[in-house]
Chains A and B, each alone.
Chain A
Amino acid sequence: MKQLNENLGEIVWQFLDVVKTCDNIVFEVVSQHVFDSIGDAGEGTRSHSIFGIIAENDTAIGIYLSKPVYLLIFKQSHDRFNQYLAEKRLQRENSAAAGSVLSAGPLGESVQDELLLTDDVFYATIGLMLTTYEYHTCLNVHELMLKKYIKKHLNDKNYLSIITLLVKELNLLRLLLNSKLSNINKSSSLWLFLKKLYILLYNFDSNYLNYPFIIELILQSCRVHPYNYYAWSFTKWLINFLYYNNDQKLLSLFYTKFNKFSHSHINDNSSWSVLYDLIIPPKSSVVLFTITEYNSILASYNLNSDVFSFPLLPQNYNYRNSLNFQLSYQRIFHEQITWLETFNFNTFIVWNFIKNVLINFEKIYLNPQQLIKDKDKIVHLLQIQPQYQVKFPNNKEIIQATKDLSDFWSKIKDSLKTFESKNQIEIIIKNGYSTNSIDPNTLNNPKKYQNYIYQEDLKKFSNIKKILIWKEKFLE
């Protein structure tokens, strides 16, 4: 690599322009030996001063850093950042010793502190974001500098510069969140930062929000690090936000992409949990939390609420308006059930998902039998909703849809009864999650109680997960 006195954090920042056009990236830190062999890979390989780049397939790019350089980035960034922290502390102590008070600057820190925020400190935070995780002090400074640049360009009304910066920050986050460094890939602080960037771009110019890019960022992160809790939590937040805006087009896009991912990751409870959210709209309390957080994040950037879209108000959301009945029906029946029947597997995750969707769908749209009974009333009610008028041209479709739903739910219950009868067990479905009924007398005798769980004494009491996963052991 080049001379050691180059600002490595700055090189990382500039590197983002190299990968911004790639559809899909994976970032990895490897040994020097592996890194050198990448350089020898020949066709499809490009080199950079510190990163190795290799085309992994038509759309994916592998980005590699050797461990020695990775540690060098850390050391250089750590030293510069610690120098900044020391200067800041010294400044305060000197001020206190002199009996003077530091005056507040435009960013909320002292004027003197803000003068210490130079570009090389910014690059040091980038180096630390790459090499450490949950370093709160570093992220606070990085965000402070982002606010500093936004404020400067806002004063000049230079929105394009702000957007350019935000898009570059988004690419930085993609590098981090699509890395194989699991502590960074699943960092709750970084996923929050992604949320902040989304909200800022949404307000400055939502045309720059590339949703396929965001979806691929999430999915790639979850491919590299399955069951990524904070990735999926961010996704849930985003879906709730789309429900609030009643953006059916985007919700459909999300559904298509996440449906495909879930079908190829049948054991990923988190992805199926998100798929559930894409069929059953969130409760009002969940949306209230979503927009409260949105408002709070924007407020922290001191943006003018007259110019930007906040604060958002909770009364604008109504989940009944959000539920697209026909689309939900189609998603449940023609996509999920058909797929499940085709592949005929018995994983708990998928089974649980189907039951949860049906039970809660039932709750939101009343009892299907009730729907059939009051069909004329319900049809009229649905038809007066303008968004349904186009979709439901005649009564027969609605009746058929509700009848299918009712028939299917009956089939589920019948098949459960058959299963119970054949195996002489009782399964109780409660709130969409199957549980069992415990004989209270057994609770006083833990050893006997354990026998209900781990041995074959499942004739009376059982748990559906254990049936599906352990049935080979216990019942066959």
Chain B
Amino acid sequence: MAHQQHELTLFKEKHIQYIVNLNTKDKSYEYWLTEHLRMNGLYWGLTALYLLGSQNSLDKEDVISFVLSCKDPVNGGFGAFPKHDGHLLSTLSAIQILATLDSLDVLNEEDINDLVDFIIGLQLPNGSFQGDKYGEIDTRFIYTAISSLSILGKLTKKVVEPSLSFIKDCQNFDGGFGMVPGAESHAAQVFTCLGTLAILDRLDVINDQNLLGWWLSERQVANGGLNGRPEKLPDVCYSWWVLSSLSILNKLSWIDHRKLRQFILHSQDSENGGISDRPDNQVDVYHTLFGIAGLSLMKFENLVAIDPVYCMPIEITKKFRRWPYTE
């Protein structure tokens, strides 16, 4: 996976082709080994294409048809693939895909009520959310729930207030947030908590925004990449989790953009397209999206602008109903 040494450039066309080709590899083991992540993968791919200015590269009707075929008739959520159980992660991805395609109206009133009931039904008395009936609790699921309800315009005080209380309990003395109360601070969990607080217009819940900003800025290592916790290796996906968090805090300048750009661009596959977690590793659509999203946030490469709260194009999110609802 050689990359240009003399001049760094974003291989836009290569990445577009890489993403589009993913759906044609249905004879490979890798395609089926990741069947249970398909909905997420579709969201990552579609969003990346949008940021690259190529949102029409996937057939819109095919995508919508796939999304609708993943509805779980038992719990009302969306699964990752047809006949799979509904889960919050795939539900958010499904809603994000439909919103990006400006096609939320394919969901009728019953569909939306089923979705809302599914999401709200996963909230526990302490304000946390389970991912599904398996019972995993993680601040990731608060974010997916609140973001889903926000996109659908269905937030209520009954859901919001306990969520805020749980997030408060997940703050640590180092300024960061963990997956549950007492858990180690982690950049991805920082994003999910900050994203939730931003959607709910409650950044005031954060004990010390400067301290958190410092913790996030500490994620940048000498080669310009960002890690998720102290002493870990940098990973392109933290170009999103850390950068979007800093953006939400209005501290985007607290890391070196030039060096991060270099790190992301060095992580591309210049021959086949796609971006990996770090230079010279295998590419995948997840890191492709978050690398491109990070570049967009830093306003490099003339990409479509991305919303740091929703990880969706701003053109799409500006239509969302904002909390607290006034009407």
Contact = CB atoms under 8 A, between A and B. Distances in A.
B291 interface: no
Interface stretch (A51-59, A244-252, A285-293): A285-293
Contact of B184 (A135, A232, A297): A232
A270 B184 contact: yes
A431 to B, nearest CB: 5
B256 A289 contact: no
Contact of A236 (B85, B183, B231): B183
Contact of B232 (A88, A227, A293, A449): A227
Contact of A446 (B137, B183, B218, B253): B253
Given A85-B83, A285-B169, A449-B253, A273 B131 contact: no
Contacts of B36: 132, 134-138
A433 B232 CA distance: 18
Main secondary structure of the interface of B (DSSP, over half): loop
B325 interface: no
B138 interface: yes
A283 B182 contact: yes
Contacts of B232: 227, 269
A224 to B, nearest CB: 16
Interface in A431-449: 431-433, 435-436, 438, 446, 449
Given A356-B173, A436-B214, A289 B180 contact: yes
A289 B230 contact: no
B182 A137 contact: no
Given A233-B184, A433-B173, A454-B256, A293 B137 contact: yes
A292 B126 contact: yes
A292 B34 CA distance: 33
B173 A140 contact: no
Interface residues of A, number: 64
Most chain A C-beta atoms within 10 Å of own C-beta, residue among B131, B181, B217, B253: B181
Contacts of A432: 173-174
B229 A227 contact: yes
A431 B215 CA distance: 13
A289 B173 contact: no
Main secondary structure of the interface of A (DSSP, over half): helix
Contacts of A273: 184
Given A135-B36, A137-B79, A269-B231, A285 B181 contact: yes
Q: How large is the interface on B (under 10, 10 to 19, 20 to 34, 35 or more residues)?
A: 35 or more
A360 B182 CA distance: 14
Contacts of A296: 124, 135
Interface in B271-325: none
B234 to A, nearest CB: 13
A85 B84 contact: yes
A92 B72 CA distance: 12
Contacts of A319: none
Interface in A271-303: 273, 277, 282-283, 285-286, 289-290, 292-293, 296-297, 300
Interface of A: 71, 74-75, 78, 82, 85-86, 88-89, 92, 131-132, 134-140, 143, 188-189, 192, 227, 229, 232-233, 236, 240, 267-270, 273, 277, 282-283, 285-286, 289-290, 292-293, 296-297, 300, 348-349, 356, 360, 430-433, 435-436, 438, 446, 449-450, 453-454, 463, 465
8 contacts: A75-B29, A75-B32, A132-B34, A132-B36, A188-B136, A189-B134, A283-B181, A285-B181
Nearest first, the 6 closest Cβ-Cβ pairs linking A and B are A446-B253, A286-B182, A135-B36, A85-B83, A267-B231, A269-B230
